[in-house]
Amino acid sequence: MKFLAVLFIGFFCVLTTYATDGCAACDDDCGCEPVCECEHPPRAPAGVMGDHAHHKGGWMVSYRYMAMHMEGVGGGDASGYMMRPESMDMQMHMVGAMYAPTKNLTLAMMVPYIIKDMDMVRGPLSLPRSAHTEGVGDIRLAGVYNLWSSHVQQVLLNLALGLPTGSIDEENAAGNRLGYPMQLGSGSYSLMPGVTYTGLSNGWGWGAQAKASFQLNENKHDYQLGNRYDLQVWGLRDLCKSSAISLRLNGWHRDNIDGADPTLAVAMSPGNDPDKRAATRLDALVGIDYRPTGKVTGLRLAIEGGVPLYQDLDGPQLEGEWMFIGGLQLSF
């Protein structure tokens, strides 16, 4: 964890050296206006949410697609279990809407649709097995409050409430409940506070965000997912008036599950063990951001792709291999 902290601090210090007290011009070759008057206000990379607020009465609708592939077991030996995971693919389609009722407050709602596929082997003969789940996940209601802003920097407060709309009753073909990683929701209400800092100057953008997710109650199956803590920093560089490239470091830690589903036999699979779900990971992602100019305004397309740089798994778990994020936004 000390290594991650030093890495985040060093990266953030490099980015913020570009901060200035006033508006600076973009690259002359692009013909941009001063940064604070550019048509494309500062935005974080595709995978960051809650990075901006809107003007009073402003709306934004959005669609995000996220995909992640995990393969290979790390964090311990899984040979003692009857079922052993080999790989897993997770996809999420998320639609969202934002509205600003006041100058400093923006409200948001996000609805995810999740698809999970896991390949496993069973017994000493390693017979192949698979599991599939899909459906609506936990809906989020969120607020973004503009705490402080200048010409080139801003600080936002984030607060979201997670609703237990995702299923925790997913079963396999035999009618047995699947392990924790294959469920679509938490079954609990959750509170997600955070703070976001962003800046933009001389064609450079930078930012940092700290967030946490706290489960507020035990669900109907006598457990609650572990709390999660996220810290990320990023930098962007304008290529021209309509596009920018980005680099992001995303670090997170997840606690073990508190309690246990009484129907899940721990000896069956490591995914059934609530005491072996903690994890710490650092991902590096690169992205590109595009905003059409001219008659089309308020439209943004952004994509990101990345791989883990570091992961520490508390027990036999699938290791992350790669992730992809794409987003389309329309503000009006």
Fold topology of 2-331: Porin (2.40.160)
DSSP collapsed to 3 states, the chain: CHHHHHHHHHHHHHHHCCCCCCCCECCHHHCCCEHHHCCCCCCCCCCCCCCCCCCCCCEEEEEEEEEEEEEEEECCCCCCCCEEEEEEEEEEEEEEEEECCCCCEEEEEEEEEEEEEEEEEECCCCEEEEEEEEEECCCEEEEEEEEEECCCEEEEEEEEEECCCCCCCCECCCCCECCHHHCCCCCCCEEEEEEEEEEEECCEEEEEEEEEEEECCCCCCCEECCCEEEEEEEEEEEEECCEEEEEEEEEEEECCCEECCCCCCCCCCHHHCHHHCCEEEEEEEEEEEECCCCCCCCEEEEEEEEEEEEEEECCCEEEEEEEEEEEEEEEC
Q: What is the pLDDT of residue 143?
A: 98
Q: State residue 22's pLDDT score.
A: 42
Per-residue pLDDT at 126: 86
pLDDT digits (tens), the chain, 332 positions: 554 555 555 555 555 554 444 443 333 333 334 334 444 455 799 999 999 999 999 999 999 999 999 999 999 999 889 999 999 999 999 999 999 999 999 999 999 999 999 999 998 888 999 999 999 999 999 999 999 998 889 999 999 999 999 999 999 999 999 999 999 999 999 999 999 999 998 889 999 999 999 999 999 999 999 999 999 999 999 988 789 999 999 999 999 999 999 999 999 999 999 999 999 999 999 999 998 876 667 899 999 999 999 999 999 999 999 999 999 999 99
Question: Residue 311: its pLDDT value, please?
Answer: 98
What pLDDT shows up at residue 19?
45
pLDDT at 20: 45
Q: Which tens digits make up the pLDDT trace of 201-226?
A: 888 999 999 999 999 999 999 999 99
Spatial distance between the Cα atoms of 304 and 323, rounded to a whole number of angstroms: 8
Q: What does the domain layout of the chain look like in residue ranges?
A: 2-331
User: pLDDT at position 152, please?
Assistant: 87
Number of Cβ atoms within 10 Å of the Cβ of 31: 9
pLDDT, position 7: 54
pLDDT value at residue 28: 37
Residue-wise pLDDT tens digits, 26-53: 333 333 343 344 444 557 999 999 999 9
pLDDT of residue 38: 43
Distance (Å, rounded) from C-alpha 320 to C-alpha 309?
10
Tell me what pLDDT residue 291 has.
Answer: 86
> Please, which residues bridge with residue 280 across strands?
253, 312
> What is the rounded CA–CA span in Å between residue 285 and residue 128?
33
